Amino acid sequence: MPGLSSGRERAFSATQALATMGLTWREYQLNCRTPAFWALAAGGAGLAVWRASMTGATAALAAYHVWRFVVTGVAVLAVLIGSASAGRDKRDASSELVLAKPLGSSAHLVTARFLGVWLSLVTISGIMLGAAAIRQVIGGTPWHLGAYANAFVRCLAPLALATCLGFSLTAIFANSLAGAVGALYWLAIPLVNAHVPRAADMTPTQHWPAPALLTAGLLMLTAVVYGRAIKGSAQSRARLGWAAAVLIAAGLGAAFDIAYRGEDTLSARDPVLSAIAAQRLLPEQRAPGFWALDGRHRIVGLGDFDGRPIALAFWGPGDPESARVVALLQQAALKYKNQGLASIAVCLDSDSAAAGPFAAEAGPDVTMVWDRGIHYGDGDRWSNSPLGLAYDVRAVPTVFLLDEHRRLFSRVEPHAIMMLDSELAKLVAAR
Amino acid sequence: MQIEIRDLRKVYPGGVVGLHGLNLTIPSGLYGLLGPNGSGKTTLMRILATLLEPTSGEARVGGFDVHKDKSAVRRMLGYMPQEFGFYPNLTAYETLDYFALLCQVTDKADRERRIEVALAQVNLAQLAGRKVGTFSGGMKQRLGIAQALLNDPKVLIVDEPTSGLDPEERIRLRNLWAELAGDRVIILSTHIVADLAASAEQLAILHKGKLLFAGRPAELLSPLRGQTWIIDIDEEELSTVRNEYFVTGVFRSAIGMQVRVIEEKMSHPKGYLAEPTMDDAYVHIMRREAGAAANDLN
């Protein structure tokens, strides 16, 4: 009766899926009721409020910095919380009670436990972003839901990987300390400036395939090791093992690709990016041209603004002071609209999605682009940016005013940024 | 429903033998496992609960091999180990809900009903909403029994279920086993003979991984009928009696002391025949085994 058999199997799978959902909820409750959760939520909310209270912090800037807190600080704690969750049965002496149940050593329980920890950490991210948003509303700063939603979504993959590392390594090694140390070592790799760290830094949004594949692969591997009798069949365990190996290999491949494309030497990158970086900004000559991606991932070229005076600002959301230049550009775009001023902001951040909320906040008058040559946003990011090299950017914010022939009219350095308006007035007057 | 155990042997790393080729058939009803600490009771129970793999031999629960068909065995199994803990942040109700989900009881109403029944059976209904972290040892013990009952198991294995319970709870539990036993197998492991005396339909006695006895309690008692005596003595006489007779128990009474002994013939003037008890039989069989072991060494 093959039909009956497959029908039974489907019904069985549906039952297991429902059980996994129920167990996920209970695991979530278990994690949310720990003192660590409340300490993290309260501390995180405090940090978020502090950041949102800083002078000039817009919704996009506050959300960006909360995201940074989450993918760095909370991610490290996610490793420890994931590790604690995997070691809970041993700690609470409940292993035998759990293992003797039908789902006690199954992939379903592994999944539910991982999801429970992950969802609790996602909740902490939500609390932090919510606290920042409330602080902004109370402070009278314009509310911008998209900025918080964007930051929230960008927390999901890095938190999943961090949680999974702590959880899976502890379950695989059957030792909380070994699991936590292994996972923290992985997370610490980005602190070292080399190729491997670029592969390990999976926080940028565009890197999501690597953490997603590695998370899925590690969880499957955990299920194989932890679940000694999934459906009582060595065959299904072997299948799961192969699937884990394929996913981990694909994840490592994606990480290798990040490392390869993040090579320091520009010549090793995309030839177009190398060509952009090879240009130089020289007096009386046309300024270096470029193609970059805007907030909606459309290609924008400097040639699109030919015949118009241009305010080209380099900034990075990691530097709150530089982020304020976006607002100045917006004011200038409105003020000199009739004179045809084009305002372009180049975001120097390793995350392709970082500029999006700032673009939405600035509105259609400012063209926000992201230098896709950037792969490692910390430290001297402008020297690692093809556009930064072409324009010889040494600090942010730096604004280049170009005349209608795209020649350099003026260069406004960070210390003189408040002189931007007067320089702009001169640019449009000289037309 | 029955459990078949054939040539079951367990050797732990380091060469310690947990079970020496055990052969046993456990039918439906309440089955007692008696034996001192280290006799192999827990090893046998953990193998039957699919938590430990035997070195050789086989054990079948309802026809399913405990090693090869773990999932099938676990679906019909309720197990309470000797030592266990719960997640302290969950309430008793939430804890049972968690374990019911692990048993794949996915219908919420069905789960609620099972949890309420289990809580009532172990007298914890009033504490359903209290966090398990605040429970006493006895309450946790009762919750351990409740979680083993959630999936209406065909086989219920409980290891030292009455340790830490007050006398009233122990009596309550003995009655519960009697209620639950029917067409299901209940294996109750203990070193407290009184736990089994009232309700076990059959029992096995293990010692150092070997089976010393398997059968009905009456079969254990019948050889001792006519050989079990009570002697009324003064306290000073105790050491003399101990040296002369096979003593299975000493009790204090209003008139002095009473000593239970097992002997074919009674030479003491204050000795009179008594009905053998499970305690007598257990002590007798254990002492005899110890004597045989000593002879083997000599």
Query: B124-172, pLDDT tens digit by residue?
Result: 999 999 999 999 888 898 899 999 999 889 999 998 777 767 778 778 7
- Sheet of B228-233: strand order equals B247-253, B256-262, B228-233, B271-273
pTM: 0.83
Nearest CB partner across the interface for B77, out of A88, A94, A100: A100
Among chain A residues, the shortest Cα distance to B146 is held by A97
Kindly state whether residues B81 and B26 are assigned to the same domain: yes
Cβ distance B87 to A99 less than 8 Å, yes or no, reads no
Separation in Å, CA of A94 to nearest CA in chain B: 5
Return the residue in B43, B60, B87, B141 with the most chain A beta carbons within 10 A, the one to mutate for interface testing: B87
* Amino acid letter, residue B206: L
Q: How many domains does chain B contain in total? A: 2
Cβ distance B89 to A231 less than 8 Å, yes or no, reads no
Does B297 have pLDDT greater than 60? no
How many CB pairs below 8 A link A and B? 92
What's the half-sphere exposure (Cβ side, CA atoms, 13 Å) at B296? 6
Q: Is the dihedral of CA B254, B256, B262, B268 positive or negative?
A: negative
Nearest CB partner across the interface for A97, out of B50, B75, B81: B81
A13 touches chain B (CB under 8 A): no
Q: Please report the residues numbered 218 through 257 in chain A whose beta carbons come closer than 8 angstroms to any beta carbon of chain B.
A: 229, 231-232
Kindly state whether residues B72 and B36 are assigned to the same domain: yes
Among chain A residues, the shortest Cα distance to B69 is held by A232
Q: Which residues of A touch B106 (CB under 8 A)?
A: 15, 18-19, 22
What pLDDT is attached to residue B281?
Answer: 87
State the Cα–Cα distance between residues B246 and B110, nearest whole angstrom. 55
Q: Which residues of B touch A232 (CB under 8 A)?
A: 68-72
Kindly state whether residues B176 and B283 are assigned to the same domain: no
Nearest CB partner across the interface for A101, out of B81, B102, B106: B102
A339 touches chain B (CB under 8 A): no
State the Cα–Cα distance between residues A192 and A72, nearest whole angstrom. 15
Looking up tokens 């699991």 gives: A179
- Sheet of B3-11: strand order equals B17-26, B3-11, B56-61, B64-65
Nearest CB partner across the interface for B103, out of A93, A101, A232: A101
State the Cα–Cα distance between residues A213 and A247, nearest whole angstrom. 5
Report residue A56: phi and psi, to 5°. 80, 10
Separation in Å, CA of A108 to nearest CA in chain B: 9
Q: Which residues of B touch A229 (CB under 8 A)?
A: 50, 70-71
For residues B75-85, average pLDDT: 91
Per-residue pLDDT of chain A (431 residues; tens, 9 = 90+): 334 444 444 445 788 889 999 999 999 999 999 888 999 999 999 999 998 888 778 889 999 999 988 988 888 888 888 888 888 888 888 888 998 898 888 888 888 999 999 999 999 999 999 999 999 999 888 878 889 999 999 999 889 988 888 888 888 877 767 777 777 766 666 555 556 666 677 788 888 888 899 889 988 888 887 765 444 456 667 778 888 899 999 988 888 887 776 655 554 557 777 888 888 999 888 999 988 888 777 888 888 998 999 999 999 888 888 888 998 999 999 999 888 999 999 998 878 888 888 888 888 889 999 887 776 544 456 667 888 889 988 888 999 999 999 999 999 998 888 889 899 999 988 87
What string of DSSP letters covers A136-156?
HHHHTPPP-HHHHHHHHHHHH
* pLDDT band with cut points at 50, 70 and 90 for residue B296: low
Looking up tokens 């827990």 gives: B42
Nearest CB partner across the interface for B74, out of A18, A19, A101: A101
What pLDDT is attached to residue B131?
Answer: 95
Assign residue B73 the CATH number of its domain.
3.40.50.300
Domains defined along chain A, listed by start: 2-261 (no CATH), 267-429 (3.40.30.10)
Q: Which residues of B touch A103 (CB under 8 A)?
A: 101-104
Ranking A143-157, B8-22, B157-171, B240-254 by mean pLDDT, the lowest is B157-171
For residues B27-31, average pLDDT: 90
Return the residue in B48, B65, B70 with the most chain A beta carbons within 10 A, the one to mutate for interface testing: B70
A18 touches chain B (CB under 8 A): yes
Nearest CB partner across the interface for A22, out of B81, B101, B151: B101
Return the residue in B46, B47, B104, B140 with the most chain A beta carbons within 10 A, the one to mutate for interface testing: B104
Kindly state whether residues B232 and B281 are assigned to the same domain: yes
Kindly state whether residues B160 and B244 are assigned to the same domain: no
Q: Which residue has the higher pLDDT, A198 or B47?
A: B47
What pLDDT is attached to residue B95?
Answer: 96
Q: What is the dihedral of CA A391, A392, A393, A395, to 10 degrees?
A: -160
Among chain B residues, the shortest Cα distance to A20 is held by B101
Ranking A171-185, B25-39, B256-270 by mean pLDDT, the lowest is A171-185
State the Cα–Cα distance between residues B75 and B62, nearest whole angstrom. 11
Kindly state whether residues B46 and B155 are assigned to the same domain: yes
Kindly state whether residues B107 and B185 are assigned to the same domain: yes
Q: Which residues of B touch A85 (CB under 8 A)?
A: none
Among chain A residues, the shortest Cα distance to B145 is held by A97
Assign B126 to helix, strand or coil: helix
What pLDDT is attached to residue B165?
Answer: 74
Kindly state whether residues B86 and B30 are assigned to the same domain: yes
- Asked which of B171, B186, B216 is the last residue of a domain, the reply is B216
- C-beta separation of A109 from A59 below 8 A: no
Chain B interface, Cβ < 8 Å to A? 46, 49-51, 68-72, 74-75, 77, 79-81, 83-90, 94, 97-99, 101-106, 144, 147, 151
Separation in Å, CA of A174 to nearest CA in chain B: 16
Kindly state whether residues B226 and B188 are assigned to the same domain: no
Q: Is the dihedral of CA A61, A65, A70, A72 positive or negative?
A: positive
Among chain A residues, the shortest Cα distance to B76 is held by A102
Q: Is the dihedral of CA A167, A171, A176, A179 positive or negative?
A: negative
Kindly state whether residues B187 and B105 are assigned to the same domain: yes
Burial of A340 (0-12, 13-18, 19+ CB in 10 A): middle
SS3 content of chain A, % helix, strand, coil (to 5): 65, 10, 25
Strand partners, B58: B6
Strand partners, B232: B258
Q: What would the two tokens of residue A415 be?
A: 């210390």
Q: Find the domain containing B192 and state its range.
A: 3-216
State pLDDT tens for residues B208-238. Answer: 889 989 988 888 888 888 888 898 888 888 8
A103 touches chain B (CB under 8 A): yes
- Asked which of B155, B181, B216 is the last residue of a domain, the reply is B216
Looking up tokens 């003593």 gives: B247
What pLDDT is attached to residue A87?
Answer: 85
Cβ distance A100 to B51 less than 8 Å, yes or no, reads yes
Kindly state whether residues B108 and B65 are assigned to the same domain: yes
Cβ distance B103 to A23 less than 8 Å, yes or no, reads no
Q: Which residues of B touch A101 (CB under 8 A)?
A: 74, 99, 102-103
Kindly state whether residues B232 and B102 are assigned to the same domain: no
- Asked which of B157, B187, B216 is the last residue of a domain, the reply is B216
What pLDDT is attached to residue A271?
Answer: 78
